[in-house]
Structure 1
Amino acid sequence: MNQHDFLIALLVFLVAAVVAVPLARRSGLGAVLGYLLAGAAIGPFALRLVTDVESILHFSEFGVVLMMFVIGLELEPRKLWALRRSIFGYGGAQLAACALVIGVTAALAGAPWQVALVAGLGLALSSTAIALSTLTERNLFGTPAGAASFGILLFQDIAAIPMIALLPLLATHGAEGAAAPGTTGWLAAGKAVAVIGLVVAGGRYLVRPALRFIARTDMREMFTAFALLLVVGIALMMDAVGLSMALGTFVAGVLLADSEYRHALEADLEPFKGLLLGLFFMAVGMSIDFAVLARSPWLVLGLVAAFVAAKTVVLALLAKHFAIARGQRLLFALLISQGGEFAFVVFGVAGGAGLVPRETEALLVLVVALSMVATPLLLLAYDQLVAPRLGGRRARPDEAITPQDNPVLIAGFGRFGQIIGRLLYSQGVGVTVLDHDPDQIEFLRQYGLKVFYGDATRLDLLEAAGIARARILVVAIDGMDESLQLIDRVRERFPELQIYARARHVSHVYQLKDRGVHLFEREMFEGSLMLGRRVLEGLGFDPAEARNVALRFRRHNIQAIDRFYPHYTDQKKLVSLARQARDELEEMFRQDREQRRQREEAEWT
């Protein structure tokens, strides 16, 4: 390919991505599907704007290599250890169960054992890019379903490495007529172990000094250049002994993740991460043989439907043992029900090693690609059809609360309310809790906490919960409007009841004070202040001095709120007071620094 052809191909890639990806995102299908569709459109089986099959394969391999480098770069040993249960426990169970079900089904359908094995292993893998993107968009990382999904995906990324490396050895061992097949396999395995050991040892003793030398040049772009040099060098070493280059790039990424310069490298490579993954998916889209779909459309669609359904059922059954709430099990299963990007590599390696016929390889690739296309559509169907019913199920009638006689009633038992409740519970203080999240209630009741389902803003439920006999009401509801509505109703019915409230921000504080609530805590203020104090200590401040600075800042902030409160509806006056308070705080700290300097000079004289 000459320079002119390269520039034309680059232009085609960029135009296709810029057109297809935003349209897919706006349609709710996701960026990954947009890249796949763009690659399919410009590939040799559609518009034929790019027809060189070898170039497509090179693009695809380069995308996998770079993606593996990014995954390795983000894999910290501490993170791996903290997630060991969800990674190795959940991930191992998922991979084994899905591979067994798919492989056995393929064998019963008449497939040779080599094809059944490759299909089971390859189709058990899920798409890291699609699933992680969906978890981010839906803010599910903090949920049990999100944590389990992330652990499983991470285990799959790790498991794909030996899977890809061992398939050629399996083919070598099983080749008929080969001289001393066992010896050949062990020799290849020995070479692989030797090269991996050389890479690890070299990384431990050479990578850090090299990075230190590059850092002294004060040339930021050299970090990127060195990363690429390391990737290409190790990849070529792996390729020389017959292993997948993806294994080498993964090791290279882990080596850089273990260095003290990891964050600088991540910052330099982050802008390229999305484009590199996009390049990979476009290459995958271009390599899909739609002629197979045209020849046997019902066979292909039937295999896709059967594959996604089988994997969804297996994952939904496993979710019961993964501490995932009942209402999230189907969503969890759909998130990782598709085939994964590494399946393309597994099938390619297996096809090249002769384990799978080329026609079967093309069919499996097409099934995986269409399952990836199906995932955004299934999630849209879930949102439209299943989620509303689950929401209706969650909106069940409030529970009939038996009369309670506890001194404290907590309305809302999320992150904020739980800390209060656990503290009181540890000291033997009777607490009655009202919350509207049934999954949360089901989870907390397993630990013996007395939590009732219901709308805490309803006075009849509050009375049934014993608010008339309670001494303190803790309002820890997430929504500001709901918390104010609750306080209004309680103040009218029980004017003598003490109310302690969670304040989301300063504006919420002012509205609480309007209602006579003066016992409140801003949810972020104290924690942020404490962390700021720790930062001062980390910078060399004396701990006592850092504490005094934090306390003075806290006192000044509270006084400023009290001073601003009468004028908080007057925007001009509020801005003027805020500027005045800022100037006062700066002057106060300037005087403190001056007094400290004078004390230090007096000590030296």
Structure 2
Amino acid sequence: MTEYFLQAFIYLAAAVIAVPLAKRLGLGSVLGYLIAGVIIGPITHLVGEETTTIQHFAEFGVVMMLFLVGLELEPKKLWQMRSRLLGMGGLQVGLSAALLAAIALFFSQPWKAALAIGLIFSLSSTAIVLQTFEEKGLTKTEGGKNAFSVLLMQDIAVIPMLAFIPVLAAPDIAASSVSLKETAAHHNVSLVAGLPAWGYALVIVASVGALVLAGHYLSRPLFRYVASSGLREIFVATALLLVVGIAALMNLVELSPALGTFLAGVVLANSEFRHELESNLAPFKGLLLGLFFITVGAGINMQIFVEQYQLIIGLTVLVMVVKGLVLMGLALMFNIKGADRWLFALSLAQAGEFGFVLLSFSIQNHVFTSEFASVMQMVVALSMFLTPLLFIVFDRVVVPRFRRARQQRDKDTMHDDIHETGEVIIAGIGRFGQIVNRLLTANGMKTVVLDHETAQIDNMRKIDIQSYYGDTTRPELLDTAGIEHAAMVVVAIDNRESINTLVKHIKHAHPTVKVLTRAFDKGHSYELRLLGADYIVAETYHSALELGAKALEMLNIHPFDVEQKRHAFCQIEKEATEELYETWKHGSEGQRFDQNYRKLFIELEGKIKKAMLEDRLDQHNSSERGWTPPPKGYDEDLKNNER
């Protein structure tokens, strides 16, 4: 047990030290993880043979990442991507595989091995690319969206590649002992082993169909049942159960777990629990992906690299250049312009993590010798290691160049850039939040509604108000709801502490976002003002004022007088608010409502009573001109009628 604790400590310490340093130097977190792996692995030998085993476990981070990516894509959006997915993605895999296989043939490789090499190196790193896109905010760019389409097609292509590689077995590569394939089969459980091709196809169709139906019809009852418990840890366990279960099912039918979880994410993209799932799984995804990158760095075999560094570096550069040229050609063909074209080409030029899987599978099926595969693994690892450097080139060379060109263009044409306003996030869709949301949406404002009550979410969806389940006081939920692009957050939660926590976080982490919030009472409004809220309204103030005014009317005070008195009340309250707040703020902690505050409040009440007794018939303002004043003798007539 002590050994496991020490290994965990080494991996975590390497990440804690290297990643913040890499970020500070502008190298990105992925390169930080890779450098950390190299230091604890081939340089200091603090970790050893367990790295490969840990890497298989850490690959689950890629599975989680694709599930979260799927949650961002509605089926309608996925269908809209079909031309890029099949056309661009299919051409990238086909052309890259063909060119790399031709180069391998040129270097006297057998045609079967050459074809396997082409297939393996045609894939790119989903883990590194999507993680870097998310970190640098490139996911929504044109280059980012096209790169994602290609990556998704590559993940799908892994399935036929796994089926095709055994056909490429070389008769002259014989196993000296029990084959690795037989050993792996002994440890792996499969539901499709020994099935004919038509049977395997039926199982795949049935599995995918079951996954889609279960996600559509069974997920909501399950999540509602779990959410009703009010236990966050159970919801986290449910999210993990969902992803692990899907990955296990895909392994049982020998499909890609990443593809299966991606499809599940797409099915759940319209779910009101989407944001909660994202916020629960994001920490696990980030930790496992970081661990995966560390194992890639730690798994580099320095002895092989030192002995054959010229060959390995040459092959790595060759693979990345060939893939980059193919990607640049596709960018021209599909009309990707400007900096997005370079982003598309540079981001996908490396080999990917599935290359390790296919290389191991090729050894098991006698396509390559272990020695040859070791060199290929080094090429895969080195190309992944170099990818963050390509993103640095994009950030520091490509983007500034195109930015300067665009600025010059704008200057020449005298056109100003027009930026769309962000969304409005409404935290809480109870009786208070509903009115705000209806007013905003009626005026064409796009809102993102969040609430932690499943019953309330269901009610809103029945009347076509798109709402999402989640605890809005959690920062990661606000991130997934798009607070970075929001213009304001309306806080309509029915909990005093939660309101304070949320306002404090938003104004600290996102100071430019306007915060409009409800307050329970005057003291609460002072607290929120101290926390930086931009606009505060006491939830009962206006309704109580309206009810009080109606009470005066029903007590036979003329509507004109009622309106005057209401206006005077509001005006005096408004004028006194600043002085009351300053007195409250300078009071000692726990004694905010001290003697000075009480004295000012009593003075305020006196001003209000005095204003109520004044006759303002000749002093009414423009807001009162729609009212007809009472006729002369109104009070006397009223008293006579009462007698």
Query: Quick check: TM above 0.5?
Result: yes
> Which range moved further: 17-26 or 70-79?
70-79
Aligned counterpart for 1:150 among listed residues 145, 150, 175:
145
Aligned counterpart for 1:316 among listed residues 322, 325, 328:
328
- The 1-side partners of 2:202 and 2:399 are apart by 52
- The 1-side partners of 2:376 and 2:29 are apart by 23
Letter in 1 for 2:21: L
Counterpart position of 1:554: none
> Which range moved further: 83-92 or 278-287?
83-92
Q: After TM superposition, give the deviation of residue 215 of structure 1 in Å.
A: 2.5
Say whether the 8 Å CA contact 1:75–1:257 is kept in structure 2. yes
Q: After TM superposition, give the deviation of residue 55 of structure 1 in Å.
A: 2.7
Aligned counterpart for 1:28 among listed residues 26, 50, 65:
26
Say whether the 8 Å CA contact 2:66–2:262 is kept in structure 1. yes
Letter in 1 for 2:350: Q
Distance 1:588 1:182, change over 3 A: closer
Write out per-residue CA displacement over residues 535-578 of structure 1, whole angstroms, 9 at most, x where no aligned residue.
99x8999xxxxxxxxxxxxxxxxxxxxxxxxxxxxxxxxx9xx9
RMSD between aligned residues: 4.5
- Asked whether 1:166 is paired with 2:160, we answer yes
Letter in 2 for 1:99: A
Counterpart position of 1:218: 230
Aligned counterpart for 2:443 among listed residues 511, 530, 536:
530
Distance 1:201 1:30, change over 3 A: same
Write out per-residue CA displacement over residues 119-146 of structure 1, whole angstroms, 9 at most, x where no aligned residue.
333323333444345545665555xxx3
Q: After TM superposition, give the deviation of residue 390 of structure 1 in Å.
A: 5.6
Write out per-residue CA displacement over residues 180-219 of structure 1, whole angstroms, 9 at most, x where no aligned residue.
x997555544444444444444444443333332223222
Distance 1:257 1:62, change over 3 A: same
Matched-pair identity in %? 38
Write out per-residue CA displacement over residues 466-507 of structure 1, whole angstroms, 9 at most, x where no aligned residue.
xxxxxxxxxx5679xxxxxxxxxxxxxxxxxxxxxx999xxx
> Which range moved further: 289-298 or 197-206?
197-206
Distance 1:130 1:83, change over 3 A: same
Counterpart position of 2:559: none
Counterpart position of 2:428: none
Letter in 1 for 2:295: A
- The 2-side partners of 1:581 and 1:48 are apart by 55
Counterpart position of 2:75: 77
Distance 1:176 1:156, change over 3 A: same
Aligned counterpart for 2:286 among listed residues 260, 264, 274:
274
- The 1-side partners of 2:100 and 2:381 are apart by 17
Larger radius of gyration: 2
Say whether the 8 Å CA contact 1:132–1:150 is kept in structure 2. no
Say whether the 8 Å CA contact 2:155–2:258 is kept in structure 1. no
Letter in 2 for 1:214: V
- The 2-side partners of 1:539 and 1:203 are apart by 18
Aligned counterpart for 1:112 among listed residues 97, 110, 113:
110
Aligned counterpart for 2:242 among listed residues 212, 226, 230:
230
- The 2-side partners of 1:346 and 1:53 are apart by 18
Write out per-residue CA displacement over residues 80-137 of structure 1, whole angstroms, 9 at most, x where no aligned residue.
2344444444333333332332233223333334433333333233334443455456
- Asked whether 1:293 is paired with 2:305, we answer yes
Instruction: Point out where structure 2 has 5 or more consecutive residues left out of the alignment.
Output: 172-180, 182-192, 423-438, 450-459, 464-528, 555-643
Say whether the 8 Å CA contact 2:113–2:367 is kept in structure 1. yes
SS at match of 1:43: helix
Number of residue pairs matched by the alignment: 442
- The 2-side partners of 1:194 and 1:586 are apart by 56
Distance 1:252 1:291, change over 3 A: farther
Letter in 1 for 2:275: H
TM-score in terms of structure 2 length: 0.58
SS at match of 1:320: helix
SS at match of 2:335: coil
- The 2-side partners of 1:37 and 1:581 are apart by 47
Say whether the 8 Å CA contact 2:170–2:366 is kept in structure 1. no
Say whether the 8 Å CA contact 2:89–2:154 is kept in structure 1. no
Say whether the 8 Å CA contact 1:131–1:335 is kept in structure 2. yes
SS at match of 1:48: coil
Say whether the 8 Å CA contact 2:119–2:161 is kept in structure 1. no
- The 2-side partners of 1:580 and 1:382 are apart by 38
Instruction: Point out where structure 1 has 5 or more consecutive residues left out of the alignment.
Output: 399-434, 437-452, 457-475, 480-501, 505-525, 542-574, 601-605
SS at match of 1:285: helix
- The 2-side partners of 1:55 and 1:258 are apart by 36
Counterpart position of 1:63: 61
Counterpart position of 2:96: 98
